[in-house]
Chains A and B, each alone.
Chain A
Amino acid sequence: MHISLKRNLQVGYGFSLIALLIVSVISYLSVNGMLKSGKLVENSYGVISKTDSIVTLMKDAEASQYGYLLTNKIEFLKLYNNSEKKVMVLLRETEYLIADHQMGVMTFSKIKAVIKGRLSVIKLAITNRQIVDTLSKDQVIAGMIAMQTLNSLVVQALSGEKLLLQERLLAYETFSKSILTIIIISAAVAFAISVASYTKVTSTITDLEALRKILFIKEQETTGLNEKLSAANEAITSANIELLNNNTELANSRNRLIALTNNLANQVNSRTEELALSESRFRLILQVLPQIAWTNTPEGDVDFYNQKWFSYTGMGFDETKNQGWQKVIHPDDLDFNIQCFKTIIESEEQGEFEIRERRYDGDYRCHLVKMAPLKNEEGDVQMWVGTATDIEDIKQLQRQKDDFINITSHELKTPLTSLKSTIQLIEAMQGNLTEKHLSTLIVRAGKGVNKLAYLIDELLYIGKVNEGQLNLNMERVNLMDIIRDSCSGISMATEFQINIIGDENFGVLVDPDRIEQVVINLVNNAVKYAPLSEVIDINFQAHGSYALVQVTDYGPGIPEDKLPFLFDRYYRVQMGGSQHSGLGIGLYISSEIIKKHGGVIGVNSELGRGSTFWFTFPIS
């Protein structure tokens, strides 16, 4: 608005000034022209007037000359003297007035020459009159001619001058007329510009007033706003102060935070290092475990196996990762395994179960699977750690042990049965028993007691063997004697033919009771497991520095796959669903006795052909 007003004013004043300048120039030129024309007119009028005066004065001078000449009176000379002076003055003045007019100048120079000539003539005549006191006719005529010439020149001059005057008057009129128009136009233009300027300025002033009012209102508002602003400023100032305080506090907090963050970062780094170390230890522990070990994600996917898994299953990680392990589980155990696994994962507690897993050679072996969750401080499961322990051997041993207990119980109960029954008979038949009857029953009871005592001894003996407390009482004895003694009881009780072949004088250094126990055991086994053999051969001979004893039966033989286990503790061959009496520890005890002697025990067997049990020991 302000810029617009200023520009309007500038433009208005600019136009006004230009218009006024133009009008002024035109007016000046017109007025100047008019004034010049006026001056020229005035000059013309002066020339005409002065010319007339000159003519009149010349006439006066002529007449006064004539009067003097005629009368010789001085008074006439006075007039002449005045005229002459005045004419000269007028001539000068006229000459000045016609200086700008060529024609006039030429004509007037002629008039001036005529006048000067006449005046000089008149002066001469007057001088002559004073001397001669005469007036000639020639003088008069000359005077008349001179005057006529003068008159004609004056007329010529005046007519020229009048023409000039007319021209000048015309010019003057033209200027006079145009000057009016110009003045009117100029006045009109000036008026119009003034009006326009006035209108514009008025309008602008009105606008300005309006703006001033608005400005006033705005000022008032601004004042109000200023007050508010001041209040706000104060508030801001106080807020700023508070903010500054807060900033300071914040800066302090930030510094503390930075310190804490640094501390935390250090702790995290150190914790991460510890964790990495801990994890590598953990992995190392898992790697060196003799069992299969692995880790699962919280959801149960396998993400790590130890080396044992790969060597045991013969499978790679990609093959068995996530749920790939299921290939290794015995198909009959898989559903059970999945169920147990799911139950443990859902319970988020450790658990265990037994399943069969396939070894690299295709053999399924019983495993004890244990799984435990690793939880964080919040109790959330981070991972699962699992181990699978091959308990096939333990299971086998457990079964053998259970069998042994059952067998032992059975074997103890068997003599107890006859003993109990016999005692009850004696009780029931009190008074009705003959001496022979009683004696038979007592002998039978005694046999039962002896069997029990024997079994208990055997049990105690195996206890000693298990604890490594088997002691030998070495003696130099004849081997043939030992073998014969061993077979004496057996030969009487059975229908077997026992052939003993060996050097009658084969002396050896052994514990005779223990070697006898071994031979009895081997022969008893032959009787028990080869009932249809009829013949049992016993051979002994020297074999280098060792003695070799062989017990051969011609029974059904022993399956090849059973042979490696025959001398194991609690192992008992089962054939055709039949079972045999005895604790089933005879071969184990025999093996331990022979080992204690520094020898070796073994068996050669062929199905349908029979078996040969043999043992060696150093001769001395």
Chain B
Amino acid sequence: MGVASGSPDRAGAVLGWALALAAALACAGFAQLVPSVAAGTAHEMVLPWAERLGVSLAFRLDGLSQVFALLITGFGAVIAVYAGSYLKGHRHLGRFFLYLGLFMIGMLGLVLADDLILMFVFWEVTTVASFLLIGFDHAKPEARRSAWQSLLITGAGGLALLAGLVLLGIAAGTTRISEILAIEGLTAHPLYPAILALVLLGAFTKSAQIPFHIWLPNAMAAPTPVSAYLHSATMVKAGVYLLARLHPALSGTEAWMWSLSLAGGVTMVMAAVLALRQSDLKLALAYTSVMALGSLVMFLGAEATIAIAAAFTFLIVHALYKAALFLTVGSIDHATGTREIARLGGLWRTMPMTAMAGVLAAGSMAGFPPFLGFIGKELKYEGALAIAEEPILLAAAAVLANALMVTLALSILFRVILGRKKPVGPDGPPRAPHESPVALWLGPLALASLGLVFGIAPDLVGATLVQPAVTAVTGAPQVVKLKLWHGVNVPLMMSFATVGIGLLGYIFHGALMRTLQRMPAVADRSWDALLGAIATSFSAISRAVQPGSLRIYLGVSFVVMAVLPLMALVGSGGLSLTMSDELDPVVVGAALLAIAGAILAAAAERRMAALGGLGAVGAGVAMLFVLYGAPDVAITQLMVDVMLIVLVASVMVRLPELRAIGQGRGINAAIAGLMGVAVAALTLAIAPGAVDSAVSADMAAASVPEAKGRNIVNVILVDFRALDTFGEIVVVAAAAIGALALIRMKPRRSPQGARP
């Protein structure tokens, strides 16, 4: 796996221990608050932030946040210790723990934030941290592809979520979550459909609901501790958290119920089926994570207390067994060099402690008594039966999904851990199995044992964690009793059915796997097709919009510049002209000079002649400026014209003669004429006294006393509006340096012409 050569990162190892310690202390801190939160207190902390936007750094710890906070910090400590051993000697250990710490902070902030905007910021932090961790082995192309895929999917969902949260903030009139949840009737707001669609898009992408699930199995390119932590126990549940958090405000409608139970139910069954086709243990676990996320989403679609209770019990169950299984697989991978089910067997002889963790976790996953998984499964069946609209369908889906979990658990138990020991070789493990270091089995063993302890004494989590969370989600005090033995009832019957189907699945697991593997992997391949289509269409657009010809760019710019103001002018009633009786012959002469120059420039056969024509236009216009009392502008105009001719003359030797352009010149002349008409018409429209002269009068009055200057133009440039001028000269200098780089750059002819 990720063990690269090179000098080991000692500082990184220290950072890992520091992170583990910090997470453990935070976990202890949250644990200390459990009794008060369970009693109904919400701990709040509010710091000022962007007051004008009504956004503050508001944090709130209630029953819902508490479950997640404990998961994040407790698992975080276990994972940090495990990763220190798993990635021992890795060159970038420090970088790894930095990313992991960033993720922990982001995730903790996400579940504690009591402000929509603040929550979104942390939401994005977890997306970025996940991207960095998936791409941790960035030398591998598939790691980079997976990281990129997860970033695009969850990032796009994040954008939708932002829009949804902003709309929600507008609809509610505040961004404080605790205030929003207290508002009645948000579901009747006209913005509600848009809010719901956007928020669901964010939650479904993050929590890998079909068809957005493709990134999660690919995210297994990350080191195994990351898969266990981010992509199973915590981050992918951010979407679930969001749905639970906004449940009081947004739930209770047909749209909510149908979209959640359908998306969740379909995801649950599909992912369970897809899990069976995987021969790689880690990938199989990844699909069971998708299945778990599907069932969590499905239960949150309901209103019934029992469904919510089922969701949170299962959330804890799943986090415990799935993280333990991931870490077990990581330990097996570490010791044997493979994760293929077919190449492993009889591991209990050589790695007893790892095997023990695996057995306990698989027992909880299969939902056998007396594990917490059994209670979770019974509650799931009860919850599914309680969902109002389609109880039979959903309950059947839950049975099927759970049966497939049983199949997988049995395969792990009887093929990987028990079973025949395989000799080292192409059909067996690449390396002789041996027990992993203590840090690699202690964590999973502890987590898996908790699944057993909580199963035997369910009150340890029932009243302290599940009940406060359910209370927070339903908005009313609830009593949740978790019991191992419910008596003989429908869920128990369904459990028997589950085990039966699961057993059948186990017997035919090999055949099922081969059959399923023959199905094409549609979803992931369509992702590549989608990206390819986007790239192709955008390069087509670029080719159409940016043909690379300066003439076309200038032509389009000028036409737009001319047509838009002309349309505005015509729309506002056109122009009425009155001819002056007497014409100053000098003015007429200057104008005629400019006109003659323009005609010459447009008609000239040689560039030098055209340039002379342009010069004549500049001189004529400058003369008009002098005649109408703007000597500064006149001098500038003249000088700019001189410099323009110098510049163009230096460039000219490299340009083709004007004749070579051919018929395009007619179009050029038409565009130039249009531009001239537009500017002239606008000038005439503005001229008759529509300009407010108060500003210029003020400046003229202040020029001498305040700025000690009699030339108002200059005073404005260097004093009154000096900051503007400063900005302009910075642009001039930057443009010159940029142009210098372009001139110095030798043209490279690529085979495809304009494309680099």
Query: Do they bind each other?
Result: no
